[in-house]
Amino acid sequence: MPSRPMSRLLLAALLATGVGIATEISPAIAGTAANRSASAPAKKKKAKATVKVATTSLGTIIVAANGKTLYAFDADGTDTTTAHCSGGCSGVWPALAAKGKLVAGKGLDKTKLTAGGAKQVAYNGHLLYFYAPDATPGATGGQGIGGVWHVVGADGNPIT
């Protein structure tokens, strides 16, 4: 049995060797892990729908990503170049603004989704608006106001 000082010396030598091995292996392991992560394809983040469908008492309608109901203004017709709701009107009826790539949700025709004048989102040729007093997703309090504001159905046509 080695003496106590000799045991300490032997232990120190073993630890030094073990640490040396660990430092030699670590870069190899790290390099392999780095190579694997560099070669792995990046996961695509699924884009959030700009507009999607929801079911309400009016039927299946289009809503914004936040679930709020979208409306068409009769005065706009199908002219998507200029919004006819401005000034005080736009305070009560804010436009759905296009932010980034437009994405149609499941059940909607992506070819009907466009950005009109001033980057306002349009669906089936109708500029889209929110009704500010609609506080909760799916609320349809703006339907029929003044006989000119209408919820937009999933087919892209105003519900009258």
| Per-residue pLDDT tens over the stretch 58-111 | 999 999 999 999 999 999 999 999 999 999 999 999 999 999 999 999 999 999
Has residue 108 been placed in a domain? Answer: yes
**Span 23-46, mean pLDDT?**
53
> Are 22 and 38 members of one domain?
yes
Has residue 136 been placed in a domain? Answer: yes
Count of structural domains, the chain: 2
> Are 129 and 77 members of one domain?
yes
User: Please, which pLDDT band fits residue 29 given cuts at 50, 70 and 90?
Assistant: very low
Question: Left if phi > 0, otherwise alpha if psi is -120 to 50, otherwise beta: which for 21?
Answer: alpha
> Are 117 and 143 members of one domain?
yes
pLDDT, tens only, 1-17: 556 665 565 555 544 55
Going by C-alpha positions, the residue among 85, 148, 151, 141 that lies closest to residue 118 is 85
Has residue 158 been placed in a domain? Answer: no
Has residue 144 been placed in a domain? Answer: yes
> Are 136 and 76 members of one domain?
yes
pLDDT in the model for residue 88: 96
> Are 81 and 22 members of one domain?
no
Query: Which domain covers residue 136, as residue numbers?
Result: 51-151
> Are 68 and 38 members of one domain?
no
Is the model's pTM score more than 0.75?
no
Q: What is the dihedral of CA 43, 49, 53, 55, to 10 degrees?
A: 80
Is the predicted pLDDT of residue 132 greater than 70, yes or no?
yes
> Are 146 and 106 members of one domain?
yes
